[in-house]
Chains A and B, each alone.
Chain A
Amino acid sequence: ETGVTQSPTHLIKTRGQQVTLRCSSQSGHNTVSWYQQALGQGPQFIFQYYREEENGRGNFPPRFSGLQFPNYSSELNVNALELDDSALYLCASSLDLGQGALRTGELFFGEGSRLTVL
């Protein structure tokens, strides 16, 4: 069973550029969530994808967007990068069995993509 993998692990961009971060969910999981973790802070929820649809969004501007693919992998795109976007971006997968069925709230996190915006 493979865990959650993210790429790239580190990247440096300049203000105004665009970035795409990628995540492969754990085998058997159908839900992917993205979190932003600033240095010394707790993760902040960006959005969640379930069956290729956005299923909840945190307090992030529209320039943060995402996709989930049929194989449940996911992308996070950030346009018009700002200095404050510098952070560790974490992807977490989980298994949602749907309404009325047994659920587990456990999130399985990847090791993250460290983004530095100069």
Chain B
Amino acid sequence: QQQVKQSPQSLIVQKGGISIINCAYENTAFDYFPWYQQFPGKGPALLIAIRPDVSEKKEGRFTISFNKSAKQFSLHIMDSQPGDSATYFCAAAGWSFNKFYFGSGTKLNVKP
């Protein structure tokens, strides 16, 4: 059973556009929701994360929107740039952080 479901699988956006990736989870015990960015040949790197006590968190061009009642959260990349082209993973973890559940990933391609 997949604990975190992510969509879309791939996304093509023009430079300057908004990229939106969505995730949904089932386990209400999850307490931490990070987004990781992975470039080819590299390990994932933390981009931004949110706790369920807030509905939105913004860091530069990256924003997480969180809907606790719907058990959904999304990543918005404003003013998307070709350098943002990568695979993005949402994830969820409980308070102990000893196990992270990752989504299946979204391959983003930002066209110049």
Query: What is the interface of chain A, defined by CB distance below 8 A to chain B?
Result: 4, 33, 35, 40-45, 48, 50, 55-56, 58, 90, 92, 94, 96, 103, 105-107, 109-112
Q: Which 5 A-B pairs have the closest CB atoms?
A: A109-B43, A42-B102, A56-B98, A105-B97, A105-B32
- Other A-B pairs, 12, CB within 8 Å; known A33-B98, A43-B89, A105-B97: A41-B104, A42-B6, A42-B89, A56-B98, A58-B99, A105-B34, A105-B93, A106-B46, A107-B100, A109-B43, A109-B44, A111-B41
Interface residue total, chain B, C-beta cutoff 8 A:
25
B residues near A (Cβ < 8 Å) are 4, 6, 32, 34, 36, 41-46, 49, 89, 91, 93, 96-105
The residue in A48, A92, A107 that gathers the most chain B C-beta atoms within 10 A of its C-beta is A107
**Bound-state Cα–Cα, A100 to B42, Å:** 33
Cβ contacts under 8 Å, B41 to chain A: 111
Contact of A111 among B36, B42, B89, B96 (CB under 8 A): B42
Distance from B11 Cβ to chain A, minimum over Cβ atoms (Å): 15
Known: A43-B89, A43-B102, A44-B102. A4 touches B43 (CB 8 A): yes
Chain A residue at minimal CB-CB distance from B43:
A109
A41 to chain B: which residues have CB within 8 Å? Answer: 104-105
The 8 Å CB contact of B99, one of A48, A50, A109, is A48
Contact B43 A90 (CB under 8 A): yes
Residues of B within 8 A of A107 (CB): 44, 46, 100
Per a CB cutoff under 8 Å, which of B32, B42, B45, B104 touches A42? B104
Instruction: Indicate the member of B6, B42, B43, B93 with the most A CB atoms within 10 Å.
Output: B43
**Do the beta carbons of B103 and A42 come within 8 Å of each other?**
yes
